[in-house]
Structures are given as C-alpha cells and as structure tokens.
Amino acid sequence: MAGTIALVGTLTEALSSVVHPEIPDAVAMLQVRGGLGENQPAEWLRPRFAGELLYSWPYPGESGQLAAPFAARHRALIQAAREFDLIELDVDCDLSPELLAAIPAHRRLISWRGKGRDLAGLRSIFARMSAVRARFYSIVTQGSCTNDGVIPLLLLKELGRNDVIAFCEGAAAFWSRILSPQFGARLLFGQLEQNPVSQSGEPSIRQLMEDYGFPDVHPVRQLYGMVGNRVFQSPSPRLHNAGYRSLGHSALYLPFHVECFEDFWQETIQSAALERLGLSLRGLTIVSPYKEAAAAAAARCSPIAGRAGASNLFLRKNGCWEAHTTDPESIAGIAGNGHRPSKPLHAAVVGCGGAGRAIAAALQQSGAHVTLVNRGHERGELAVKLLSLPFVPLSDFTAGGFSLLVNATPVGRDDDCMPFAIDSLGSSATVVDLAYGARPTPLATGVAARGSSVVDGYDVLVNQVRRQFQMMTGLEMPPDIGRHTATPQTFLQSACERQRIA
C-alpha cells in the first residue's frame, strides 16, 4: 500500500509554556492523556499546534487508574468533548447513552485494549465496537513474543477498512505497529519525546520518521529484519529503509526483539508465521547474543561463519536459510582486501565472541599473525579450539607490538571503561572499535588523542550494513546513505565538545 498516514504525537507529560518537546511539522494530531498531573486545555494547545487534538483517558487498570470512579472519568470525557477534535472511548466502559449523546460519531475513537486473542476473538470484539458509529476504531493487543503481532494484522487485512487501527504492543511485537499501515491503519502513534523504544513498544515520532519514512507509506512485498535483544538501539533500520526508499525497492527492514532465539526460530521462521500476511521474509541480521545459536540453526554456513561457529547474517535462498557473516567487513581495507600484504600484520582481537572469532578467522585467512584476547578463559578456549590461534588472557595482555588491534567487545558502549590499556600502543598501530553508542567510546577518543589511527563503531557499522544490503537485496546501497545517516545527534555534539576542549 502506498500513500500517507497521520502521525499522532503522544504527550507523556504535560507541556508547559517554558519547556516542551519540538513538534515536527509531520505530526497531524496530538494525543493528550487525561490525568497527566496538570491541566492541558485545548485552548492553550491550539495556538501552538495546527493539527487535530485527541483526548484520551488512561485505560481501566492502566497505571492504577482503575480506582478512578467512572463518574469522574465520564465527566472528564464530556468536558473534553467541548474542546477536542477527537475523544477516545473505551468499548467496555465508555459507551453509555449519556456519553454517546454528548460526543457525536465523527468525534469518536472507540478503542479496546487487552491480552492477545485469536482471530475469532478479535472479530467478535470488532463486531461489538463497530455496532456504534465512530470515526476510528482501535484494537491494541498485548503480547510477549514475535508471533503475537500477526493476529491483529490479519484482522486488519481481513477487514480491508481505513478506519481501523490494530497492532500488538510490547517490545517483541513492535514490528506489527510499523507494518499496520500496510494493511489499512491510518493513524500511527509515537511519543513526542525522543526516548528509545520502551518495553511497551512505543517509539518516538522522530524514530517513526527517520527509521521508517513515515508519514509516507511505501509499498512492501519483502521483509528483512534484525534479531537480538538490543535491536532498538541500532541505526540499521534507518540505513536499510533509507536505501529501499531511495532505490524504490518494495521492502521494509524491521527490528525483532527476541528473548530466546530458538523459540523465535521455531515459532516465527520455521512456522512461516509472517507469510500468513502475504509478505516474504528474505533476510535477517543477527546481533548479540544470538550469533552462535543462529549458526547452529542454519541449513548451510559460509566457510568463515562455519569456522567461527557464529553468524550475523541469514539469507533465504531456494527455501533454505544460509548463515553468513559480515563481521570481517570491520577490517575491510586493513587486511589487504583479500590479498596477502607484503609484510604480515600482527593483530590482536580482543573479545572471542562471534564477531571476534569471525574477524580473527578473516585476518588469519589474509595472512596476518593473530592473537586472541579475552577476559574469560572459557570463551577464549572455545575460540582457540575453533581457530587454532594463540590466546592471551586480558589480564596479561599489552597492546605494544601489534600493528592492528580490534575491540570486539561492548566495553565502552554504555560506560567510560576501556576494553584494554592503550598506554603501550604503538604510534603506527591501527585500532578498530566495534562498539558504538550515543557518544564516542573512551577507546576511540583515547586512541585518537594519542595520534594513532582509529576506525570507530559507526564506520564499522556502515561498512557492514552496506555489505548486508547488497547480499540481501542484490542492490548497492546509495552512496549518499552513510555515517551521517547512522550517527545520533548526541554523538556529534559530544565529539564536537571533546574537540573544543582539546
């Protein structure tokens, strides 16, 4: 489906005349939640926002609101109906004759929210809702696994209406919210504050715009995605989806938040659950901590993925899933681009997880002398067994003597720690840091301050995404989509501040 939808910006706290989040021009409607702690009258909002205003009261049982008397709730809804363009009415408690008389049909959004039901159960709920005339109807299920998002979308597809919103909330089924416009939903909700996706699965408006291109809706025939338990912090959806839009490729890249890879594989992939929606899942990026579990589930493995015992890229070919790895792209251009350099590199790979092992295998294949480094002995011993390379415990490791050092750990991503000491680092050494986050890592900053060469996590990410994009789609990602697309504003601000201080 192509076209546009209405972005609805949810106020999670009351606006004030002093401080309030920027409201992007693309936002067509503001959702004001009753009981925010201070009054947010429509007359105060209208000079500050040109779109429509939706008034909602917390659902019964939400945030302890069950204790609020229905009489007080109904008085608030009737009062809001005098000021707001659209009023949300709960199908189970807000369809009294008094309320319906006070709120005309064209200003009603009738909603239901509850634990996931089968398709027959959702049909029954919608039949009850649609017996009352309204401008919109909303069905939001609550789920805890990927498959929970399928049923509400099947309902949307079956109904074929443009006045129904249906998806599953929760991090595991976040993808269903993003796909819902493909099946007719014309409203898409997001928080105005730029917070990462919460466990409720609610994104920010900026994320909906930047990662998925809303309010424009582009036709989708193929699905790609990312599987892990930190998928909402990744800029990969932004990069892939920007590439699809630029090339006119009818595809969408979705994050799948997964707590158990084996369950996801069996219930979602092997059961072809997403194919019930008429969409084909063609490729998956696998991120920590599931690279090893993924390699074990594949029908076939590439040579490097097989040696490393880990995969970060799954491709569906001829009905089978193949395991590959693009982690060696982290050192692309450093290890000779597939040709043996005249003088072998002496490389240290710090971190013996799936990424570290794949990079070590690629370096070894290029002719480098590789040393494995890890804090824990168990994972280090596994890497030695798989790769037959020397191993040094992190407690005994010194950086001197190595011309290439790769940090394949998350250390420094969310804290101020260093993955290894750099005081003995040679001036001609190159450091590749796979970690990236909201701010430059201490390792990247420290190495640059010493005058040594550093490749940071965002450069690594973009290199890998470009390769994954090409392997998944057979197309080249447009060159104008790159590091600037992936890097958050907080990173740029922090980097500029550190340069100013230096």
Could you tell me if 25 and 141 lie in one domain? yes
- Indicate if 93 and 185 belong to the same structural domain: yes
**Strand-pair category, 216-217 with 3-4:** antiparallel
In a domain? residue 22: yes
Residues 197 and 250 in one domain: no
Rounded-to-integer distance, Cα 198 and Cα 70, Å:
29
Q: What is the mean pLDDT of the segment spanning 263-286?
A: 95
User: In terms of domains, do 173 and 311 share one?
Assistant: no
325 SS3 class: coil
Domain contains 480: no
109 & 58 share domain: yes
pLDDT digits (tens, 9 = 90+) for 1-33: 669 999 999 986 666 544 566 789 999 999 998
291 labelled catalytic: yes
Is residue 474 one of the residues assigned to a domain?
A: no
Overall size of the chain counted in residues? 502
Interval 248-252 mean pLDDT: 97
| Same domain, yes or no: 203 and 309 | no
453, two tokens: 């060469």
Regarding whether 134 and 34 lie in a shared domain, the answer is yes
Residues 356 and 438 in one domain: yes
**Which of 296, 325, 354 finishes a domain?**
325
User: Which candidate in 291, 317, 343, 385 is catalytic?
Assistant: 291
97 exposure class (CB count in 10 Å sphere: 0-12, 13-18, 19+): exposed
Distance CA 147, CA 172 (A): 8
Long-range contacts, 295-298 (Cβ 8 Å, 24+): 295/323, 295/354, 297/261, 297/262, 297/265, 297/321, 297/323, 298/322, 298/323
> Mind listing the pLDDT tens digit for each residue in 104-158?
999 999 999 999 889 999 999 999 999 999 999 999 999 999 999 999 999 999 9
Going along 409-500, which residue ranges are E strands?
430-433, 453-455
Q: Mean pLDDT of all residues in the chain?
A: 90
- Across the chain, which distance is largest between two alpha carbons, in Å? 85
Q: Identify whether residues 262 and 400 lie together within a single domain.
A: no
Domain range holding 352?
Answer: 342-460
CB atoms within 10 A of CB 411: 21
pLDDT band at 500 (very low <50, low <70, confident <90, very high): very low
Residues 309, 232 share a domain: yes
- Is residue 45 a contact partner of residue 55, using CB atoms and an 8 Å limit? no
- The answer as to whether 69 is a domain residue is yes
* In-domain check, residue 494: no
Q: Do 208 and 87 sit in the same domain of this protein?
A: yes
pLDDT digit string, tens, across residues 197-221: 655 678 999 999 999 999 999 999 9
Model confidence at 338, pLDDT cuts 50, 70, 90, reads very low
